[in-house]
Structure 1
Amino acid sequence: MPSTHLGNLLGAALRHQRQRRELSQRQLAGLAEVSQTAVARIERGERSPSIPVLERLFAAMDVQLVVGVEPLDTHLDARIDELAARPIAERIDDLGLDRMMDALKDFPQALTGSTAAVLQGAPLPVDAVEIALRWEDSKRFTAWLAAHYGQRWNARWEEFGGVWLEPEEPGEHRWSTLYGEIRATMCDELPETVEVRHGGRDYRVVPLVELELTEPRAADLLRRYRDRRRATGD
């Protein structure tokens, strides 16, 4: 079966979660009670798995799959073109990034996802500050959220509020706060970062090459941006 865009995204997300836990395909297959061949084909985007199979695979790694939507390709391309014409400083201001970084200054962190890509020059759409945080800082982060009017994304209601703030609780790691929206990647150790500087300020960001390996959505947007540049001859 030919690979599809959605199949590739699902495969990349599954592979990323498995590798983070240092599991082999055989080990994950055993935990989820599926065949190793099925895991391999899903990760390569060669198989469109059923929802129950996907749920078992992710549940075996103590995570769950969150479904979202995004604009159609033509709208997304137009948005990327629009952002490419704007200075990075404007995009940083629109995101309220510096205000959020000042508020989170006491937390060890790394900027990741599309936020990190923007700071490295890629004009990707970003609607929330994306950071990596350590699990050991989870309780302090929960207290910070409570003190700054944090509300967690409720996938059932498709709005913020009505669910527990704690990252340990099931659900997407996404919160609205007094300073804007945060999307967090919770991890045992922070990823390796590089330093970039804009407007007299330094930011610690996950490098583009690492984003393409570990962040499926950012990787897809980066590929789209590069394809767009080649198509327009930039």
Structure 2
Amino acid sequence: MPTSRLTALIGTTLRQQRELRGLTQHALARLAGTDRSTVTRIEQGERAPTVAMLEKLLAALGLQLTVGVEPLDSEVDARIDELAVRSVAERIDAVGLDRMLDRLAELPHVLTGTTAALLQGAPVPVGDLEIAVAWRDAERFADWLERHYAQRWNPAWEEFGYLPTDPRDPGEHRWQVVGGVLRAGMCEELPEAIEVRHGDRSYRVVPLALVEATEPATAELLRRWRARLARTD
């Protein structure tokens, strides 16, 4: 990802997470031990923060920095084009979504991220199954993970394992379980959800507009899809 896009993505993510917590730029700056102008410039994409500064800002928001990689833009666009000619039912089947959801039926959750986008018709690549889980259900979630032989993602080793699986313990909320990889957004309350139907099955998903407003990575994929649609009209 070019630096200019990465800088803009960092800024957008920081602003969204700050606003979700009801903090002003001044309040965040004070918590992170910096000044308001620094927060403003980072959020506006005018300044690329150092890793140390970004970690301080995220820590002030109760978050931690993780590092990942993604395919080159041309490969993402090719994948979007490939998915666009397939039905939603075919895409659901290809990622094994229903089998995973059958296992999750006992756990209160809603679908979010690229999973929610897929179910609302967007031809975006889906990797991990993405869900939101309320902290009040953390113990039930921990029991579910144990029963499904979960291994937690360890960013230091860049593989699954060697970390406590309980979501209340420190670590990225990403696990490999029987049937695939699960990523959870832990929250105080489950986000607003709508019901969509495909075939004889209903799915509770975060509305696409809310996904775009709160999840920058998925929002970028949706932007690329719409840009490609506009070029073909």
TM-score, normalized by the shorter chain, greater than 0.5: yes
Matched position secondary structure for 1:197 = strand
**Residue in 2 that maps onto 1:100:** 100
Matched position secondary structure for 1:202 = strand
Alignment of 1:1-234 (within 5 A): 4-233=4-233
Matched position secondary structure for 2:230 = helix
Give me the whole-angstrom Cα distance separating, in 2, the residues matched to 1:175 and 1:165. 8
Counterpart AA for 1:108: P
Give me the whole-angstrom Cα distance separating, in 2, the residues matched to 1:186 and 1:217. 17
TM-score between both structures, scaled by the size of structure 1: 0.95
- Figure out how many residues of one structure are paired with residues of the other and give that number: 231
What are the superposed Cα offsets for residues 170-216 of structure 1, whole Å, 9 maximum, x if unpaired? 32211110121111111001111111100111111111111111001
What are the superposed Cα offsets for residues 156-177 of structure 1, whole Å, 9 maximum, x if unpaired? 1111111111223332211110
Once the two structures are TM-superposed, the CA of residue 148 in structure 1 deviates from its matched residue by 0.5
Matched position secondary structure for 1:27 = helix
Question: Is the contact between residue 95 and residue 128 of structure 1 (CA under 8 Å) also seen in structure 2?
Answer: no
Once the two structures are TM-superposed, the CA of residue 117 in structure 1 deviates from its matched residue by 0.5
What are the superposed Cα offsets for residues 110-141 of structure 1, whole Å, 9 maximum, x if unpaired? 11001100111100000111000001111111
Give me the whole-angstrom Cα distance separating, in 2, the residues matched to 1:4 and 1:201. 42
Once the two structures are TM-superposed, the CA of residue 16 in structure 1 deviates from its matched residue by 2.3
Give me the whole-angstrom Cα distance separating, in 1, the residues matched to 2:130 and 2:207. 14
TM-score between both structures, scaled by the size of structure 2: 0.95
In the alignment, structure 2 segments of 5+ residues that lack a partner are: none
What are the superposed Cα offsets for residues 47-84 of structure 1, whole Å, 9 maximum, x if unpaired? 11111100000011221011111010001100000011
Give me the whole-angstrom Cα distance separating, in 2, the residues matched to 1:139 and 1:61. 24
Give me the whole-angstrom Cα distance separating, in 2, the residues matched to 1:158 and 1:129. 19
Once the two structures are TM-superposed, the CA of residue 20 in structure 1 deviates from its matched residue by 2.4
Q: What's the Cα RMSD here?
A: 1.2
Once the two structures are TM-superposed, the CA of residue 229 in structure 1 deviates from its matched residue by 1.1
Identical positions, percent: 57
Larger mean Cα displacement after TM superposition, 161-170 or 106-115: 161-170
Matched position secondary structure for 2:189 = coil
Runs of 4+ in 1 over 2 A off after TM superposition: 168-171
